[in-house]
Structure 1
Amino acid sequence: MAGAYSTVSGQNPPHTPALGTLVVDTVRDDRVGEFRGVAGPYWSLRPVRGGAEWEVDPASVRLATPMERLRAENARCNARSEGRFL
């Protein structure tokens, strides 16, 4: 589902997500990121495996599905086991 930040059921939440919530940036090929905060009109997301944060328009974000969350958490575990800095 592309477009506005929404749950799988399509309902919009009343507020920004909690820190650490996994969301999908629909503009960047459904890239999964961890919500890090608000930067002006944008939300800051961080790659789950570590790396530089990026900013995204909240209208282009949706919650990660259970499968996307599982894949992201697995990628994080693999990165840690390889000794990569997170």
Structure 2
Amino acid sequence: MATTDTEQTNLKPGDCDLGDVVWDTGKDVPGVVMGHLGGDRVQLRAVSGGREWDAHSLRRLTARERLSLHLAQRNDATRKGL
């Protein structure tokens, strides 16, 4: 599956809403937007939980990345018997 240019465009931290899942291009990992700090950065937390970190450089997830995260969460829930 090919990604499109629109999926790879950078996001401004102010364009993200709380709860959005975005890709931190600085750390090269996905994260959930937990808060906004000023207008130039957001706080992210790993999808599986953990400590928050500040991110400046973001992009939207590709369709493949969204599917992969969703399947990982479903598999984890299945292993836990949920």
TM-score by shorter chain over 0.5: yes
Unaligned runs of 5+ in 2: none
SS at match of 1:51: coil
Deviation at 1:11, TM superposition (A): 7.8
Query: Identity of paired residues, percent?
Result: 34
The answer (yes or no) to whether the contact 1:21–1:34 under 8 Å persists in 2 is yes
Residues 7-46 of structure 1 aligned to structure 2 (within 5 Å): 7-8=6-7, 10=9, 15-28=14-27, 30-40=28-38, 41-46=40-45
Unpaired runs of at least 5, structure 1: 1-5
Give the TM-score of the pair, scaled to structure 1: 0.66
From the superposition, tell whether residues 34 and 7 of structure 1 become closer, same or farther in structure 2 (CA, over 3 Å): farther
Aligned length: 74
User: If you compute each CA radius of gyration, which structure gives the higher value, 1 or 2?
Assistant: 2
What is the TM-score when the length of structure 2 is the normalising length? 0.69
Counterpart contact for 2:37–2:43, Cα < 8 Å:
yes
| Residue in structure 2 matched with residue 80 of structure 1 by the alignment | 77
How big is the alpha-carbon RMSD for the aligned residues of Structure 1 and Structure 2?
2.5
Aligned-residue offset at 1:35: 1.2
